[in-house]
């Protein structure tokens, strides 16, 4: 699992973390929530948690479980850095079409943009952006904690962070790592969003809609742009104060601060459907799917918009997590896309690594009741 990096700094952290056509599991097989799901509520400071596994032959809409009040199977929620898998998919499709090459430099597509403080766009390739080996400073590390967009406030005072501002923020700093070293940075995917627009003439959100959401009928998934309200149905999203433990409703935020690094809104069923289709070969050619899963550039820690996690039973699962104001979600799947699992909580309090691993072990290693 990659080291989580802050997209929105304290007090709210933002980490940019199927086979049917229905985006809402209108008839999911309901199952008693696992002890681990209840632990997300009891130990993880989450008001509520939910999971969806499948679909399967016995449960074509998936197997759903929940713990805590006010959370439902078809809720829309903010998916944070899971956006990166969608962006990487579009980039690799453009590579397949000959519009891009992974060896292309950033300078070739965005001339003059990446310069200063030791940063050089001529030395940064698309491959290094996709694999977080560019060395670019993560712009989210420099965001002020008092920014209304950071704290989840919505209204006239909120100042969205445009991609250009995000890049300038990153370029005010020297590279975070030596060239070629892995370091998770949201700046990489903001740049990829700009490159997609430069090459296609369309915003990255429009290309994701045309190439992924529409073909897969992911009607519960959207890239909201300036829309601060979540589509209905949705549960509320909360931030728990570190000072007194109180919950604050942060459902409405301006997601433009995340952009191509994390603005996606989705559902449990849509995320399962997307990763099943992606890993099952429905969105990429065999060559580009192999490239997506190639972790050699990042020392085994990250592919291109996905990362592996090896479980105790020997199974390696692939996917991503998303951590954004009011929400945390994790999707994992077997490499063939036949077994997909997503869980979420409606708060930005991060579940501990051990608790997350317990959920994945229970699902993929056959110990669901332990």
Q: Could you report the per-residue pLDDT of 245-295, keeping only the tens digit for each?
A: 789 999 999 898 899 999 999 999 999 999 999 999 999 999 999 999 999
Is 58 annotated as catalytic? no
Quickly count: other Cβ atoms within 10 Å of residue 237's Cβ.
25
CA atoms within 13 A of residue 328's CA, in its CB half-sphere = 25
Q: Kindly state whether residue 245 falls inside one of the protein's structural domains.
A: yes
CA dihedral 3, 48, 84, 6 (to 10 degrees): -40
Q: Kindly state whether residue 21 falls inside one of the protein's structural domains.
A: no
Cα–Cα dist 172/167, whole Å: 9
Q: Could you report the per-residue pLDDT of 208-246, keeping only the tens digit for each?
A: 999 999 999 999 999 999 999 999 999 999 998 878 878
Please pick, among 34, 81, 134, 222, the residue that the annotation labels catalytic. 81
Q: Kindly state whether residue 16 falls inside one of the protein's structural domains.
A: no
Cα–Cα dist 17/176, whole Å: 20
For residue 348, pLDDT over 80 is answered with: yes
User: Could you give phi then psi for residue 264, rounded to 5 degrees?
Assistant: -60, 140
Cα–Cα dist 92/95, whole Å: 5
CATH (domain of 277): 3.40.710.10
pTM over 0.75: yes
Q: Kindly state whether residue 24 falls inside one of the protein's structural domains.
A: no
Parent domain of 77: 29-364
Burial label, 3 (beta-carbon count in 10 A; 0-12, 13-18, 19+): exposed
Among the residue ranges 55-69, 122-136, 149-163, 188-202, the one predicted with the least confidence is: 149-163
For residue 52, which of 42, 70, 37 has the smallest C-alpha distance? 37
| Residue 57: predicted pLDDT | 61
Among the residue ranges 46-50, 79-83, 145-149, the one predicted with the least confidence is: 145-149
Mean local confidence (pLDDT), 349-353? 90
Q: Could you report the per-residue pLDDT of 22-59, keeping only the tens digit for each?
A: 344 445 555 656 788 888 998 877 999 999 997 666 67
Strand pairing report for 49-53 and 340-345: antiparallel
Q: Kindly state whether residue 110 falls inside one of the protein's structural domains.
A: yes
Domain count, the chain: 1
Q: Kindly state whether residue 2 falls inside one of the protein's structural domains.
A: no
Q: Kindly state whether residue 9 falls inside one of the protein's structural domains.
A: no
For residue 300, which of 185, 83, 131, 176 has the smallest C-alpha distance? 131
């Amino acid at each position: 699992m990659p080291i989580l990096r802050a997209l929105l700094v304290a007090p709210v952290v933002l980490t940019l973390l199927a086979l049917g056509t229905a985006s809402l599991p209108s008839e999911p097989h309901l199952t008693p929530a696992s002890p681990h799901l209840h632990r997300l509520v009891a130990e993880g400071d989450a008001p509520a948690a939910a999971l969806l596994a499948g679909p399967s032959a016995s449960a074509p809409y998936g197997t759903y479980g929940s713990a805590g009040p006010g959370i439902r199977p078809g809720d829309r929620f903010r998916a944070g850095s899971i956006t990166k898998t969608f962006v990487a998919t579009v980039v690799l499709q453009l590579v397949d079409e000959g519009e891009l090459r992974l060896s292309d430099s950033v300078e070739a597509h965005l001339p003059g943009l990446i310069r200063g403080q030791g940063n050089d766009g001529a030395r940064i390739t698309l491959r290094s952006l996709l694999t977080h080996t560019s060395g670019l400073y993560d712009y989210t590390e420099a965001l002020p904690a008092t920014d209304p967009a950071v704290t989840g406030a919505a209204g006239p005072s909120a100042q969205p962070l445009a991609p250009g501002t995000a890049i300038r923020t990153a370029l005010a700093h020297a590279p975070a790592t030596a060239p070629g070293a892995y370091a998770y940075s949201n700046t990489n995917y903001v740049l990829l969003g700009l490159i997609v627009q430069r090459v296609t003439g369309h915003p990255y959100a429009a290309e994701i809609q045309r190439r992924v959401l529409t073909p897969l009928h992911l009607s519960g998934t959207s890239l909201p742009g300036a829309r601060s309200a979540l589509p209905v149905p949705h549960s509320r999203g909360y931030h728990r104060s570190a000072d007194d433990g109180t919950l604050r409703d942060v459902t409405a935020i301006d997601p433009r601060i995340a952009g191509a690094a994390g603005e996606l809104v989705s559902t449990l069923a849509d995320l399962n459907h997307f990763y099943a289709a992606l890993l099952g070969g429905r969105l990429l050619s065999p060559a580009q799917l192999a490239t997506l899963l190639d972790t050699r550039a990042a020392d085994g820690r990250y592919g291109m918009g996905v990362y592996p996690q090896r479980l105790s039973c020997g199974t390696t699962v692939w996917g991503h997590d998303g951590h954004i104001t009011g929400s945390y979600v994790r999707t994992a799947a077997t490499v063939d896309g036949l077994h997909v699992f997503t869980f979420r909580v409606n708060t930005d309090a991060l579940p501990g690594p051990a608790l997350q691993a317990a959920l994945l072990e229970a699902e993929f290693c056959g110990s669901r009741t332990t």
